[in-house]
Structure 1
Amino acid sequence: MFDPNLINISLQTQPMWEFFAKHGEEQQKAIENNYEILRTIEEHGLGDKNFFGGDQIGVADLVFGMVIHMLAAMEELVGGVKFIKADSFPRLHAWVRHFSEHPVIKDNVPDYTRVVDFLKKRRELYWKSQHNH
């Protein structure tokens, strides 16, 4: 069961989340930084393997899988941004498919709608806190 209280995302310090919290030029720079991060993950982390550890899901896959699940929700909330496309990141795109179709993952992934709702509220709170400073 997904418990949003267990997730503490620092929108100010984690690069993968910055595009979600920024606007305008800062957001565009964060998007470009994310493409670089994903390029590095694809080339040096995943390589030509099905999963980060080889042929079976490991800890790195679980961690990155949660990041990707949340990233997809953020993309939806921001609109117009799609990071892991088949033409840009073919190996990561294939990894997402392999990972999400695995029975253990498919049966235990957090409810996407709840993730979107949680992140929407988190983003609103972040923006309010920035306007109060």
Structure 2
Amino acid sequence: MEEVKLLGSWASPFSHRVVCALKLKGVSYEYIQEDTRNKSPQLLHYNPVHKKIPILVHGGKPICESLVILEYIEETWPQIPLLPKDPHERALARFWIQYSAAGKAFGSFFTSPEGEDREKAVKEALEALKILEEQGLGDKKFFGGETINMVDIAFAWLTYWFECAEEIVGLKLLEPNSLPKLHAWVQNLKQVPVIKENLPDYQNLTIHMKNAWHKFQSNQHGHAH
């Protein structure tokens, strides 16, 4: 078996995606914690284009970008499939995975300054979540039906990182009265062992994200003058 390494960061939802996929497939790997503010020569060597984590290194060859890594994991270790067998179903799953990649609308309420900008961002985030609930999830327990698949993994950050963002900004968007199915999905997903056991400590994550938020807000104010 060729050596598998994952360069990631504990607070990154993108690293979390890759960890979940590897664990679901039963692939053993070495995890290397990266400091994203002080990037290692190894990180820069393996991802000279974006200089970002996560990076999966399989047999000495790097694969970058979390969604690309998920596809690679699916093709390399086909046991316990994370995509449907049926080509149309698989294309649909990929469509929603792409929707998660266009996720600026989901998180813009966190990065936008207070006032009109934030109101607009909140509206956009709610619209994006509503589309995901009505068109993507529908009446299923998970995007994968009774069990989770790659779409659930792609959106797993909504369970935890999104909650943290809501708490920091002081807004609640993903609520049972406005998004009942998606809210239920979040609760169900949190109970899936592979998701639950690999989530970062909530308090530490809140501190980490709060620092990032304050930094972002002060930059915004700096540009405003």
TM-score by length of 2: 0.52
Q: Which amino acid aligns with 2:175?
A: K
1:28 aligned to 2:125?
no
Between Structure 1 and Structure 2, which shows a larger proportion of helix residues?
1
State the shift of 1:132 in Å: 3.5
- SS in structure 2 opposite 1:36? helix
Q: CA 1:93/1:77 → structure 2, altered by over 3 Å: closer, same or farther?
A: same
Runs of 4 or more above 4 Å deviation = none
Q: Which amino acid aligns with 2:194?
A: V
Q: Which amino acid aligns with 2:162?
A: L
Aligned counterpart in structure 2 of residue 68 of structure 1, from 132, 151, 159: 159
Aligned counterpart in structure 2 of residue 115 of structure 1, from 171, 189, 205: 205
CA distance in 2 between partners of 1:26 and 1:75 (Å):
16
Task: Tell me the residue number matched to 1:10.
Answer: none
1:2 aligned to 2:10?
yes
- Number of aligned pairs? 127
State the shift of 1:40 in Å: 0.1
State the shift of 1:128 in Å: 2.7
Where structure 2 has 5 or more consecutive residues not aligned to the other structure, the ranges are: 1-8, 13-35, 37-52, 55-102
Identity %: 36
Higher relative contact order (CA 8 A, sep 6+): 1
Between Structure 1 and Structure 2, which shows a larger proportion of strand residues?
2
Aligned counterpart in structure 2 of residue 83 of structure 1, from 142, 160, 173: 173
Deviations 1:24-74 (A, max 9, x none): 111011111111001000011111111112111112111211133111001
RMSD in angstroms over aligned alpha carbons? 2.0
State the shift of 1:3 in Å: 4.3
The higher radius of gyration belongs to 2
CA distance in 2 between partners of 1:78 and 1:130 (Å):
15
